[in-house]
Structure 1
Amino acid sequence: MTTHPQDFAQDIRLSDLWDDPYPIYRKLRRDAPVTFVPAVGRYLITRHEDVVFAEQHPDLFSSREKDSLILRVIGANMLREDDPEHRRIRAAAEPPARPRRIRTDWSPVFQRTADELVDSFAERGEADLFADFAGPFAATNLAHLLGLPQVRAEDMIRWSQHMMDGNSNYADDPDVWARATAASGAVDEAVEEAMSRVRDEPDGSVISSMLHADDPLTPQEIRNNVKVIIGGGINEPRDVLTAGLWALLSDPAQRADVEADPGLWRNVFEETVRWMSPIGMYPRQTTADLELSGTRIPAGSRVALVIGAANRDEDVFPEPDRFDIHRAQRNHLAFGGGPHYCMGTWVARHEVGEIAWPTLFRRLPGLALDPDRPVDVGGWVFRGLLTLPVRWQRP
């Protein structure tokens, strides 16, 4: 008996998406590229061309989703605004994250963070690079960039994870809401302290930039948007860092190519963000009745631009499930598109591709996956490694 595509969508469970969404995405792209999934409470858009269309038409696919989970956790923010308000907020926050500033101001900070972390475990000969390096590396760097250097990496990581859990709490778990609310309040306190410090002495950080912009943000706008940045600014570089390492350590030939030509680290970065898509889905809400890939979507519908599916679209990326640093096609959507193109793109490219990976391979000779401890992977709204046990030759 043939299963109707809509019947398949009815049976999709959040736990299946968490464990391994790619077989589900493959079937949706083929049979129901735009379809309502009850478990998620929205239409999933899974083909590359349809996601691109939605990103290029913010007039039809608004970021101002009513009752969005991120609004419940964080409040009004630039991710859930359309232009011109989105443009105003971004213009105030973005200057410290531009390429020139990253290289002149932040690159030495990123390198110091990497070296100090490696110093803390190099003599052990083994580590979980998710917990011991990737998370603290991303969190420490972001704390400096934001203007929160006094905040510990473990606090940044906890706040980020609890808020992101709330942003993807489609199961409506009350414990998740409680943790997200507590994290949001803790960020508010840290930002208040930072604003007091930089109000009279600007320091070039994101908080300082927002406070001293030509069109400065209000304290509430600063608090809310710092929360947004803490979420993506830790999760995405952390998960790209660990996923790329996992892929290279699993493929001796591609690893040898990179070690022979360090210029390929850029390819590793772009292929990793396509292959893993750490931020796997963006929510939107339609502003008018429309039809997409043969499916009618009523005005006011909640939709999901499923980046993790679009970045493995067979019509765009040959053998999409294969990690290939020599892939010619690079028009991935990992950083979004249109006016909401990720503000932290250049930060992540530099701190991961030019600092973290080369440092780890240089300082941990014989770096290899731990054969006795498997890697854990999970998630779909945010997807990445949960552990990365490795070994190397002790000094």
Structure 2
Amino acid sequence: MSDAPVTHIDPAAFAADPYPTLAHMRRDAPITFVPELGATLLTRRDDIHREEKRVEVFSSRQPDGLMTVLMGENMMRKDGDDHMRERRALFPALSPRTVADHWKPMFEDAARQIIEDLKPKGRCDLVTDYAMPVSAAALIAITGLCQMSHAEMDRVSQHMIDGCANYLGDQEIEARCHAATALIDRHIDHIFDTPPERSALAVQKSAGLAMDSIRANVKLVISGGQNEPRDAIAGTAWALLSHPGQLAMIRRGERSWVDAFSEYVRWISPIGMSPRVVARDDKVNGVTFKRGDRVFLMFSSAGRDEAYFDAPDVFDIFRDTGPAIPFGAGPHFCAGAAASRCLITEIALPLLFEALPGLRLDGPAPFTGWAFRGPTSVQVTW
């Protein structure tokens, strides 16, 4: 382990709301070892932004890490040429041009059908009834797993990210994750000979990637591509409904859906951290890291760093969110960022508020998670 100062956490309280503890860490021990997680956390924005790019020290290669063991060695768990080769193979499915020209019309058709089905009901849970199927429909198209249902896509994604955050070793969580990856493999096998055009399956197959890599990368796309948009759609909608003055400014054209989304993912980061393993002994800000140490880069903490954001615990769509790094930085910047932004800011949010007049909250919205965070329910009426 590193020789960083030690900070103990209550895992349950950290999952319920990590932000007070992260603020304490930023102030008193910005690089700190947390015994309950078996990892050293980097919590200040500049340290994370700088060290994430030093992959020769803070490596993504983690052959014994939870993601690799449970989902296979995907491109996120590779560095250098190996990472870039697979990233380039996947790029044709996720490029901004492909998203705008190919996927956006499909995203919009699916979202409109979902909202039309909701309209007569007068109430719903935005997480399960809107954000979940909208995200799942988009992800089914992108992956090429066209026989998978919305509910299946949401379930396997949730069970995989639960598995990847299972640092306490819960056997039931691990078993659910294995069942999810097995189901994905069956869907891949079913469609592999004739994958849909431009899908993640099709472009990787065309690039000649090995089957193990194709499977692992499809699971990677699912693990981040379902829950992050789902949680950001429902969470941003909740934030705007909780701040009606800011919603009114968007309706008047004084601010945009992009502003709201960017502020939300700064404020409540759907992907809260990225794990790394120390590849060689090194020192950062006086803290010595030893080869093999586990490190967590806390993107959620970077988004509330007081050095960059005034009143960081406040939702404010007027602020400059540029310094926040909710999608990461450097070579491992989220490959699906363009698809996520398109789905959320160009389709899901404007359609929701346009189609459901008088939309309002109908009770509190509970949140959970620290490695991945989002609302578990957002009850609304209209």
Q: What interval of TM-score do these two structures reach, taking the shorter chain for normalisation? A: over 0.9
User: Residue 239 of structure 1 contacts residue 278 of structure 1 at CA under 8 Å; is this kept in 2?
Assistant: yes
* AA matched with 1:212: S
Specify every segment of 5 or more residues in structure 1 that has no aligned partner in the other structure, as ranges: none
Aligned length: 379
CA distance in structure 1 between the aligned counterparts of 2:219 and 2:61, rounded to whole angstroms: 17
**Which of 99, 113, 124 is equivalent to 1:102?**
99
Cα-Cα RMSD: 1.3
Partner of 1:65: 62
**Which of 245, 248, 267 is equivalent to 1:253?**
245
* AA matched with 1:112: D
User: Residue 271 of structure 1 contacts residue 330 of structure 1 at CA under 8 Å; is this kept in 2?
Assistant: no
Give secondary structure in 1 for the equivalent of 2:167. coil
Partner of 2:111: 114
* AA matched with 2:364: P
Deviation (angstroms), 1:294: 2.8
2:374 aligned with 1:380? no
Which range is displaced more, 259-268 or 144-153?
A: 259-268
2:375 aligned with 1:389? no
**Distance change >3 Å, CA 265–CA 272, structure 1 → 2:** same
Specify every segment of 5 or more residues in structure 2 that has no aligned partner in the other structure, as ranges: none
CA distance in structure 1 between the aligned counterparts of 2:171 and 2:58, rounded to whole angstroms: 29
Partner of 1:298: 290
Partner of 2:311: 319
User: Residue 72 of structure 2 contacts residue 212 of structure 2 at CA under 8 Å; is this kept in 1?
Assistant: no
1:61-107 per-residue CA deviation (whole Å, 9 max, x = no partner) reads 10012410101110111111001101011111121211111111111
User: Residue 33 of structure 1 contacts residue 293 of structure 1 at CA under 8 Å; is this kept in 2?
Assistant: no
2:256 aligned with 1:264? yes
2:356 aligned with 1:340? no
* AA matched with 1:184: T
Partner of 1:205: 199
1:333-392 per-residue CA deviation (whole Å, 9 max, x = no partner) reads 10001100000100010000010000000100011111xx32110100000111010011
Partner of 1:287: 279
CA distance in structure 2 between the aligned counterparts of 1:128 and 1:333, rounded to whole angstroms: 29
1:266-317 per-residue CA deviation (whole Å, 9 max, x = no partner) reads 1112111111110001000112222223322222210000111111100011
2:123 aligned with 1:126? yes
The equivalences for 1:169-180 within 5 A come to 169-180=166-177
TM-score using structure 1 length: 0.94
Partner of 2:218: 226
Deviation (angstroms), 1:243: 1.3
Q: Percent identity?
A: 40
* AA matched with 2:201: I
* AA matched with 2:110: T
CA distance in structure 2 between the aligned counterparts of 1:33 and 1:156, rounded to whole angstroms: 37
TM-score using structure 2 length: 0.97
Partner of 2:184: 187
* AA matched with 2:26: R
1:241-273 per-residue CA deviation (whole Å, 9 max, x = no partner) reads 111111100111101000111761111121111
Give secondary structure in 1 for the equivalent of 2:137. helix
CA distance in structure 2 between the aligned counterparts of 1:326 and 1:149, rounded to whole angstroms: 40
**Which of 16, 26, 29 is equivalent to 1:32?**
29
User: Residue 377 of structure 1 contacts residue 383 of structure 1 at CA under 8 Å; is this kept in 2?
Assistant: yes
CA distance in structure 2 between the aligned counterparts of 1:158 and 1:247, rounded to whole angstroms: 25
CA distance in structure 2 between the aligned counterparts of 1:246 and 1:220, rounded to whole angstroms: 39
* AA matched with 1:362: E
**Which of 335, 344, 350 is equivalent to 1:358?**
350
